[in-house]
Amino acid sequence: MKEIDPFHIAINDPATLAAGIKAGSRKIIGYMCSYAPEELIYAAGFHPMRLFSSKSEISLAENHLQAYCCSLVRGVLEDSLAGRLDYLDGMVFPHTCDSIQRLSDIWRLNTNHGFFADVIMPVKLNTASARAYMTDVLKKFQTDLEKAIGHPIVPADLEASICLFNRIRKNLARIYELKSKSPGLIREIDLFAIVKGAMIMDREELAQRLETIVLVLEKKDPPPSLAKRIILAGSICDMVDIYSLIEACGGTVVADDLCTGNRWFEGIIPVDIDPLEALTARYADRAVCPAKHSGNTIRGENLVALANTHRADGVIFALLKFCDPHAFDYPYMKEFLDTAGIKSLHLELDDHQQGQGQLSTRLETFIHMI
Ligand code: SF4
Ligand code: SF4
């Protein structure tokens, strides 16, 4: 689909994309975790840009991070130290997994990208005091941004930012909904490009492009699909090969439980209450990641519900090697799926993944089995 080409172009060359955005007068603040308050960053006049590893060889980052940290954290640090992120004007670190927290300290001491903020969100999300605390944390982050820009964030700008992000999320959710209803409507690599592109592209342009894609998809005659319906689960999935291999092996991704997917864009922010309380409500209520806590069984229940809603034939856990939060959660999540009679496959991935053949064989076997 030609409407998706700009997304492929964006994800293949984020540095050029960033240069264009800066020329359009927005400075760039990087983030790596879906708990980064993008709406506030945008309202302050910055462009929030999600960072992924360029997957270059790790050498400079070796001096700071052990080999048993996930390849996302190591790769992004390597990119910064090697000068590949010189377009950044700042970075924000939500307080989530240990690797991101450690990277935050290393980043503050060893890189020089201007603005820096830790956003120390609570770990437990399902109490009234946690919500009140989170609102205070967001207030502090707003103050940090205001110091950086030298003036208060105008309430109307924050409101407009929230509305813009709501528009983006609504259309991403609609694209996922259409894909689940008629999987043949959109190819796996295009779904990957749309969702990854949405985390880095200019947000005004993005909102318009997503609306156009939705209109085109809604008018398209859905081709029949006999592909097996797959849910991808895990932390981030920045490997287009997983999507294309699933398709090549006779599967189709109908939903995901990823923080580069549904967990990132799920949930509309209320516009009729105090904006910071509204942001808090979304972060507290959306599908939780394992670095946060909202109940002992909520993640397993969510995954089973997702699989049932989307009539999934199977779930593929695409977990990054050395990602402790997801590795610890995996056994109980699998148990929930087993109890519900839903088949699953566990893949341990790395940004420097070798052995595509083995991956393909495992996917093929699983997809034929379900
Ligand atoms: S899985 Fe959780 S901690 Fe990790 S990047 Fe995603 S939201 Fe952040
Ligand atoms: S992949 Fe896992 S360990 Fe790495 S940043 Fe995300 S949650 Fe943390």
In the reported structure, the alpha carbon of residue 214 is separated from the centroid of ligand 2 by a whole-number distance in angstroms of: 31
Domains and CATH numbers, the chain: 2-156 (3.40.50.11890)
Taking the CA of residue 72 as reference, the ligand 2 atom at the shortest distance is 4
Q: Which residues contact 132 (CB under 8 A, 6 or more apart)?
A: none
175 has a pLDDT exceeding 90: yes
- The whole-model pTM stands at 0.95
Tell whether ligand 2 has an atom less than 6 A from the beta carbon of residue 100.
yes
Q: Atom 1, ligand 2: which residue's CA is nearest?
A: 323
Nearest residue to 369 (alpha-carbon basis) of 347, 351, 342? 342
DSSP designation for 293: B
To 5 degrees, how large is the angle CA 263–CA 78–CA 68? 70
In sequence order, what E strands does the chain have?
27-31, 46-50, 90-94, 115-119, 228-233, 251-257, 314-320, 343-349
Q: Report the pLDDT value the prediction gives residue 355, as an integer from 0 to 100.
A: 65
* Alpha carbon distance 269, 222 (integer Å): 31
The string of pLDDT tens digits covering residues 222-257 is 888 899 999 999 988 888 889 999 999 999 999 999
Contact 232, 210 (CB under 8 A): no
- Amino acid residing at 277: E
- The token pair at 252 is 């189709």
The CB density around residue 311, as the number of other CB atoms within 10 Å, is 10
What average pLDDT score do residues 53-75 get? 94
Q: Report the pLDDT value the prediction gives residue 201, as an integer from 0 to 100.
A: 97
CA 223 vs CA 3, 185, 193, 217, 227: distances in Å: 18, 6, 21, 12, 12
Cα 223 versus chain centre, distance: 29
* Alpha carbon distance 179, 272 (integer Å): 31
Cα 302 versus chain centre, distance: 17
Query: Counting Cβ atoms within 10 Å, is residue 157 exposed (0-12), middle (13-18) or buried (19+)?
Result: middle
Tell whether ligand 2 has an atom less than 6 A from the beta carbon of residue 316.
no
Q: Report the pLDDT value the prediction gives residue 239, as an integer from 0 to 100.
A: 87
User: Alpha helices, DSSP H only, in 186-230?
Assistant: 188-198, 203-219
Q: Report the pLDDT value the prediction gives residue 292, as an integer from 0 to 100.
A: 87
Pocket lined around ligand 1, Cβ cut-off 6 Å: 33-35, 96-97, 235, 259, 289, 291
Strand partners, 117: 92
Strand partners, 228: 251
Ligand 1, from 76, 289, 351: best to mutate by most atoms within 8 Å of Cβ? 289
Mean confidence (pLDDT) of the chain: 95
332 has a pLDDT exceeding 80: yes
Tell whether ligand 2 has an atom less than 6 A from the beta carbon of residue 70.
yes
Reported for 152-159, long-range contacts at CB under 8 A and 24+ positions apart, including other chains, are 153/40, 153/43, 153/44, 154/43, 155/275, 157/43, 157/44, 157/45, 158/39, 158/40, 158/43, 158/275, 159/271, 159/275
Q: Report the pLDDT value the prediction gives residue 45, as an integer from 0 to 100.
A: 97
Nearest residue to 232 (alpha-carbon basis) of 241, 242, 223? 242
